[in-house]
A and B are shown apart, each in its own frame.
Chain A
Amino acid sequence: MAFRPRRALAVFWKDFLDLRKNVGLLVSMAVLPAVMVLVPIVVVWTYVNTPNSADLRSVAQFYDPTLPLGASAARFLIDKTLTDWFGLFLVMPVFVPILIASQSVAGEKERRTLEPLLASPVTAAELVAGKSLAALVPAVVITWVAFIVFCVGVDIVAWPLVQGPLMPNALWTFGVLVIAPLFAFFGNGVAVLISARVSEARMAQQISALVVLPLVGMVGGQVAGVLKAGLGFYALQGAVVLVLDAVLLVASIRLLDRERLISRWG
């Protein structure tokens, strides 16, 4: 059972080709990044346009009662928004691979294309590798592109107030370059694992989304100010996710065993 990269790449090639032609999936994949990028830009724009509003100051003081009188409430809230949004932004690299991987694994069962595929020499490890790559590459690329658009957008709308670039900062750069791919790996692993057990892509998507909800909840909790998240927190989270990724990978390869796949869907 040697691992043949060419066969894994063949699976990647096919899935990627199929994704490019799947307009419905592409549209549903585009919604999340659009929201993730537009919402914070609009929020920052609002702060920039009402820097002296008394409401802003009271909101800012709610978060930080020690805010010095001379400090700009708008600037404080912009910084806070950018930090908080980081957590939500990480939802994107988790969910995009769930959308893709569910389609590509459970979708093969649903359309009965799995049996001919399994009748070829491809091994379970090659299948998992190829399919994961086909989910991870678009997820990471989309996240990075969205990040670039986000940075440019925030800097443009914040410039009048800040008179300099706000983004990218250290937290975001570290998160998007290191944490996002790990999260993407996690979402993919969950989706592949679940897709191996259910027979419909839609069901795989929904269950996977449920499974990764705790992760999103952790992030959401931080937004609500429950957790004081910083670089260290995300680094730790990254390490945990890395371990989970490895476990998921091994489990998926075992679950994608031919006997199981063929005899379970009938």
Chain B
Amino acid sequence: MSGIDVRGLGKRFGDRVAVEGLTFHVRPGEVFGLLGPNGAGKTTTVRMLTGLLSPSEGEAVVWGHRADRDGEGLRKVVGLLTEQPGLYERLTARENLRFFMKLHELDEAKAWPRTQHYLERFGLGGREEEPVGGFSKGMRQKLAIVRTLVHDPRVIFLDEPTSGLDPESARTVRDAVAELASEGRTIVLCSHNLSEVERLCERVAVVKKRLLLMGPVRELRRSGQALDVRVDGEAERFRNVLAALPFAPNVLAEGMRLRVMLEDEAHAPDVLACLVGAGARVHSAVPAQRPLEEVYLDLLREEGA
């Protein structure tokens, strides 16, 4: 009933396939990351999930509403932060927000205090009466986020919420997302910013037209085990020996340092034995967690190959 259920979702624009065979489930109250490079179909997916585009195949049920059939009911309970803030420049911040309250047929007197809270939260308190045309990029983005929240949506789609924000504002936004999640809202966050997804999301789906990988962020990290080994002399000499091992698909050599990606950390002793066998003088071996970024880039590279 609640949460988001996506089954075999796909979208074609003419001959171009933007998304295909996407299947995932987002639990109520979860922060779910949609991670993918430019053109991966994140925005297209979110548009299908908010009833703006109808899927070419498959179906999606969001908070009990079929996205392709019950768009109106769906849009009452979801909030969408679009890629572009899309604010009315001649109107003031307050007028922009009031417009969306009216569209949602809200009692403005009741909706204001909550909205005011978010305005203050984002440092926009006191700027309500200014035309948005005079706002900075970051202020616009924050106002757009507040606009997404005026109707107190249960499900929130955030399409690159921190793009164009300075580090401090990005942090404010991330804190706010965490806060929204703690209020029990279901959040889908689109991003190509890995550290952001890592910090905020419980689970993440890596997409590039198709679903490449999905799982808890912790598990994705585990698929990113590595061993950092320091040897005497050029590390490059041992790269091929190691790359021949079945459990070490990827080896980087840099100066005296070797970084060996492992499918399982249990193989670390085998790597060392192999190195010693090949005549290496090993100074140190430290287990390292590959940043999610490397895992992600590898994944995309494999996909591209």
Residue B72 CB within 8 A of the other chain: yes
Residue A112 CB within 8 A of the other chain: yes
Closest CB of chain B to A74's CB: distance in Å? 49
Return chain B residues, CB-CB under 8 Å to A122.
Answer: 103
State which of A4, A13, A116, A258 has its C-beta within 8 Å of the C-beta of B105: A4
Residue A254 CB within 8 A of the other chain: no
A contact face: mostly helix, strand, loop, or mixed: helix
State which of A7, A18, A22, A258 has its C-beta within 8 Å of the C-beta of B103: A7
Given A111-B89, A262-B53, A263-B13, A119 contacting B102 (CB threshold 8 A) = no
Contact in complex: B54, A259 (CB < 8 Å): yes
Residue B130 CB within 8 A of the other chain: no
Given A22-B90, A112-B86, A119 contacting B80 (CB threshold 8 A) = yes
CA–CA, A206 and B273, complex, Å? 77
Closest CB of chain B to A232's CB: distance in Å? 45
Contact in complex: A17, B103 (CB < 8 Å): no
Contact in complex: B103, A120 (CB < 8 Å): yes
CA–CA, A9 and B304, complex, Å? 50
State which of A6, A13, A111, A258 has its C-beta within 8 Å of the C-beta of B99: A13
Contact in complex: A21, B82 (CB < 8 Å): no
CA–CA, A265 and B51, complex, Å? 17
Closest CB of chain B to A33's CB: distance in Å? 23
CA–CA, A17 and B96, complex, Å? 11
- Chain B 50-93, CB within 8 Å of chain A: the 1/0 string? 11111000000000000000011001101010101011111100
Contact in complex: B102, A9 (CB < 8 Å): yes
Closest CB of chain B to A99's CB: distance in Å? 16
CA–CA, A1 and B75, complex, Å? 12
Contact in complex: A115, B103 (CB < 8 Å): no
Contact in complex: B102, A6 (CB < 8 Å): yes
Contact in complex: A113, B86 (CB < 8 Å): yes
State which of A11, A17, A114 has its C-beta within 8 Å of the C-beta of B86: A114
Return chain B residues, CB-CB under 8 Å to A123.
Answer: 72
Closest CB of chain A to B10's CB: distance in Å? 15
Contact in complex: A21, B50 (CB < 8 Å): no
Contact in complex: A18, B88 (CB < 8 Å): yes
Contact in complex: A115, B75 (CB < 8 Å): no
Closest CB of chain B to A188's CB: distance in Å? 20
Contact in complex: B53, A259 (CB < 8 Å): yes
The residue in chain B whose Cβ has the minimal distance to the Cβ of A123 is: B72
Contacting residues of chain A (209-266) with chain B, CB-CB under 8 angstroms: 258-259, 262-263
Residue B147 CB within 8 A of the other chain: yes
Closest CB of chain B to A260's CB: distance in Å? 10
Given A14-B91, A18-B91, A116-B147, A121 contacting B53 (CB threshold 8 A) = no
Residue B222 CB within 8 A of the other chain: no
- Chain B 34-47, CB within 8 Å of chain A: the 1/0 string? 00000000000001
Return chain B residues, CB-CB under 8 Å to A1.
Answer: 72
CA–CA, A21 and B91, complex, Å? 8
Return chain A residues, CB-CB under 8 Å to B104.
Answer: 120-121
Closest CB of chain B to A254's CB: distance in Å? 15
Return chain A residues, CB-CB under 8 Å to B71.
Answer: 258
CA–CA, A114 and B47, complex, Å? 13
CA–CA, A190 and B87, complex, Å? 26
CA–CA, A154 and B51, complex, Å? 56
Contact in complex: A119, B90 (CB < 8 Å): no
Contact in complex: B103, A10 (CB < 8 Å): yes
- Chain A 1-40, CB within 8 Å of chain B: the 1/0 string? 1001011011101100110011000000000000000000
Kindly list 6 other residue pairs between chains A and B, CB separation below 8 angstroms, not including A116-B80, A259-B54: A1-B72, A14-B102, A21-B91, A22-B90, A111-B89, A262-B53
Chain A residues with CB under 8 Å of chain B are 1, 4, 6-7, 9-11, 13-14, 17-18, 21-22, 111-123, 258-259, 262-263
**Which 4 residue pairs spanning A and B have beta carbons closest together?**
A10-B102, A119-B80, A21-B90, A112-B84
